[in-house]
Structure 1
Amino acid sequence: MMKILYDANVVVDIFGKSEDFFHSYISYDVALTKGFVPYATVSSVSDIVYVLAARKYLSKRQARSSIAGLMEMFDLLDALPADCKRANESDMDDFEDALIAYAAERNGIDFIITRNKKDFLKSPVPALTPKEFVAIYKPECLEYEMVDS
């Protein structure tokens, strides 16, 4: 069974219905359709809640309430001291991204889905954008269409 880790920016797209919602949500839907297990990291939950409120996608109260939905949609991965050490010693420029990458590796994650793929070039786990993930894994029988709300 394939394990997919969603970076905080993709989760924010989904919960905040941002301009990148369409592709981010489709990547999640395709993962579920294929029977893949979607994950997020515990360390990214506070960032997700903060960004949802700071960008005014949701009120502070709504952003905080979104944690329950996030835990229903995604299994949560922890980060251990060993992940911190490896992240600190890695060649990845951003510590937070490195921490996510090494926690993902330890947990047997197959892909990280992110809009900032360049941040994961030196990751031990390959990264795909939501569009790339959909292009590779979307069943031919599925079609998605953007609907105006």
Structure 2
Amino acid sequence: MMDKLFLDTNVVIDLLGEREPFYESIAQIATLSDKEELCIVVSALTYSTVFYILSRFEGSEIVKEKIRKFKVISETSDLTNQVIDKALTSNFRDFEDALQYFCALNSGAGVIITRNGKDFKDSELPVMSPDEYLSSLK
């Protein structure tokens, strides 16, 4: 069975914004998804956040095109009432992190990929950086 990875917003920004020194490892994960060797999932919330941040540095049409291409290799976890309710009653300090976490659970992902592992310290799912995940494959 292929791995299903939930990507936190920060690593999607690294990928689509080609942010160094983080780009290479998340690009390798995206390539594995493109080759259908694993499945990547993001929350619906991620798209608006990525657009908001990247459009400060690039034209909005360029950012939309990057998101369109990314959607081809990823799945979207919906931001449902159930996800929002769980996030509202959770122990997460940051509401956005709680939304991401419960979207990850809802999607059936087996791992959360983020550069901010401390934000998910109470996670029932393994939490790894892109580099840690790639190292686990070796």
- TM normalised by structure 2 equals 0.89
Cα pair 2:33 2:73 within 8 Å, conserved: no
In structure 2, the partner of 1:3 is 4
Q: Give a deviation string over 1:85-138, Cα, whole Å, max 9, x none.
A: 111111111111111111211221101111111111122322110010001024
Please state how far the C-alpha of 1:32 moved relative to its aligned partner. 5.3
Structure label with greater radius of gyration: 1
Structure-2 separation of matches of 1:106 and 1:23: 25
Output aligned runs, 1:42-81, within 5 Å.
42-54=44-56, 56=57, 58-81=58-81
- Structure 2 residue 26 is the aligned partner of structure 1 residue 39: no
Contact 1:7 1:40 in 2 (8 A): yes
Establish whether residue 86 from structure 1 lines up as the match of residue 91 from structure 2: no
Q: Which runs of 5+ in 2 are unaligned?
A: none
- Counterpart Cα distance in 2 of 1:92 and 1:135: 28
Contact 2:5 2:41 (8 Å CA) reproduced: yes
- Secondary structure of 1:40 counterpart: strand
Residues matched between the structures, number: 136
Aligned-pair CA distance for 1:83 = 1.0
Structure 2 residue identity aligned to 1:23? S
Whole-angstrom CA distance in 2 between matches of 1:116 and 1:133: 14
* Amino acid of the structure 1 residue aligned with 2:90: S
Tell me, yes or no, if structure 1 residue 97 matches structure 2 residue 107.
Answer: no
Residue pair 2:43, 2:76 contacting (<8 A) in 1 also? yes
- The aligned runs of 1:109-120 (5 Å cut-off) are 109-120=109-120
TM-score, length-scaled by structure 1: 0.83
For 2:9 and 2:70, the matched residues in 1 are separated by 11
Q: Is the 8 A contact 1:101 1:124 kept in 2?
A: no
Unaligned runs of 5+ in 1: 139-149
* Partner amino acid, structure 1, of 2:10: N
What amino acid sits opposite 1:41 in the alignment? S
